[in-house]
Amino acid sequence: KNWRVVPHGDEWAAKPEGSDRPSKIFDTKKEAVEYAREKARQAGGELTIHGKDGKIQDRDSYGNDPYPPKDKKH
């Protein structure tokens, strides 16, 4: 299962991809990312992190990715 971290008013939401409803809402983006990262890791999915403007800021893949990212920052 893939997860997303998105702005939710003045807070941050972690939600499964394709879901309209957040799984959990957090005060900080860092908390939302930590939660969603663990969920994506457990499911062998992807994590997509959005900025306050809604644009994608970062992506991480935790599954058996046939095209692993070239960057080594994660």
Instruction: Report DSSP letters for 2-62, one per residue.
Output: -EEEEEETTEEEEEETT-SS-SEEESSHHHHHHHHHHHHHHHT-EEEEE-TTS-EEEEEE-
What is the pLDDT, as a whole number, of residue 60? Answer: 94
pTM (two decimals): 0.84
Q: Which pair of tokens denotes residue 4?
A: 């997303």
> Using CA atoms, how far apart are residues 30 and 1, in angstroms rounded to an integer?
20
Q: What is the pLDDT of residues 11-70, one digit of tens each?
A: 999 999 999 999 999 999 999 999 999 999 999 999 999 999 999 999 999 877 666 666
What is the pLDDT, as a whole number, of residue 54? Answer: 94
